[in-house]
Structure 1
């Protein structure tokens, strides 16, 4: 959270001792939420318990926060901020670039490029689904996003909503940069109807993965189901599940099948794709520079 926002809350945000008090109690609150889950019904007694465990006296607490509700607002803002890294899943992004570097020969043909795209989506979607939606920080973020509107209107709710909004926009910007690099590199582009605006695609793709993560809590068997499809021939999009006896098959998760549906709705092969240019980018190492908007 920006320092000036802290100053508005306490009026003493620049005091080193009070900054330490704030940091210790927010850390203890975060640990509590990660251990037992988020409850918007956290009461004053629990806040007092967390303060004792953090070594924060009643007087110190009062110097930083006017009430238990003010502390909870700051805690929820902190939880929203911490979710940014987990949602973007940097390891998946870096691994994708490394994988593309091993598939440069396939970029010379439309069939090969489709195969690379399918393999990246199937693998990355499944990994991202397993890692991101299993994260305690993401679960907290999801719970907070769906319940914060039950808070009464006022400054505290507005601040938490703003923190959630900032976290969402940060995630969208990270993933937009990633897709602007990956898709043109494998010979695809955003469909012209979207006017080079990747953000609707980012939101739709994330909603599939994170929505399944929410549903998994109640119907895990359905969400975690896998299906066998004929091995990809360069055109596979999860459509025809009929396979001849003895033919090679590929395993697809619900997350991957849903994700490829979103991808095919937003992107198309790039008719101006030049394989040599894409290969030159990949062999130069991990590319983290977004293309010009």
Structure 2
């Protein structure tokens, strides 16, 4: 799970930075508070909020699926849901995007470490450390999760489904 988070965090940041839609979204976020026309400002803020809420719902669904597949769960003592995890991760990613735009050398910095005692030291970007640290604040191994063989079968099926969906989405955007 930790290795998946490490790799997906970098992939996610790179995808966001390469996306024209994200650049537009961030430009709107940066300019909306300076709009003097209050009706226009309210309309844009409402559209941004709707977009953000839909994205957080998708992120929450993805984390719900991932944690189930890899035998993790939300920490019961936090008494929160995947939407909260997704919201906190979204805030962190927004900050990483701004940092990557403003100071690519900072956002691109890496360390070689084993910050979660999960094996030998590996390269960790700031985005991977941020996402993994945040996620592991909310998540823990599920003592009642599926056994390793069943979990591995579920992971392979989910990866195949995601790869197919991503390929379809990518071809529909072109």
Comparing 146-155 with 182-191, greater Cα deviation is found at: 146-155
CA change 1:136–1:156 in 2 (3 A) is same
Q: How far 1:217 moved relative to its partner? A: 2.4
Q: What is the RMSD of the two structures over their aligned residues, measured on CA atoms?
A: 2.4
Residue 83 of structure 2, aligned match among 190, 193, 199: 199
Higher relative contact order (CA 8 A, sep 6+): 2
Kindly indicate whether the alpha-carbon contact (under 8 Å) linking 2:56 and 2:90 is maintained by their aligned counterparts in 1: no
* Match of residue 254 from structure 1: 126
In structure 2, relative to structure 1, the CA distance for the partners of 1:180 and 1:149 (3 Å cut) is same
Residues of 1 paired with 2:36 and 2:76: CA distance? Answer: 42
Structure 2: distance between partners of 1:202 and 1:175: 6
Q: Residue 155 of structure 1 corresponds to which residue in structure 2?
A: 39
1:219 Cα deviation after fit: 1.9
**Residues 224 and 254, structure 1, Cα contact 8 Å, conserved in 2:** yes
Q: Where in structure 2 are the equivalents of 1:1-293 lying within 5 Å?
A: 117-152=1-36, 154-195=38-79, 197-229=81-113, 235-236=117-118, 249-275=121-147, 276-285=149-158, 286=160
On the 8 A contact 1:133/1:210 being kept in 2, the answer is no
Q: Secondary structure at the match of 1:274?
A: coil
Tell me, in whole angstroms, the C-alpha distance in 2 between the residues paired with 1:193 and 1:262.
16
> Does the C-alpha gap of structure 1 residues 211 and 191 become closer, same or farther in structure 2, counting only changes over 3 Å?
same
Q: TM-score, normalised by structure 2?
A: 0.80
Q: Deviation at 1:214?
A: 0.5
Q: Contact between 2:111 and 2:125, CA under 8 Å: does it hold in 1?
A: yes
Compared CA separation, residues 162 and 146, structure 1 to 2 (3 A): same
Q: Structure 1 pair 227/280, CA: closer, same or farther in 2 (3 Å)?
A: closer
Equivalent-residue separation in structure 1 for 2:113 and 2:21 (angstroms): 34
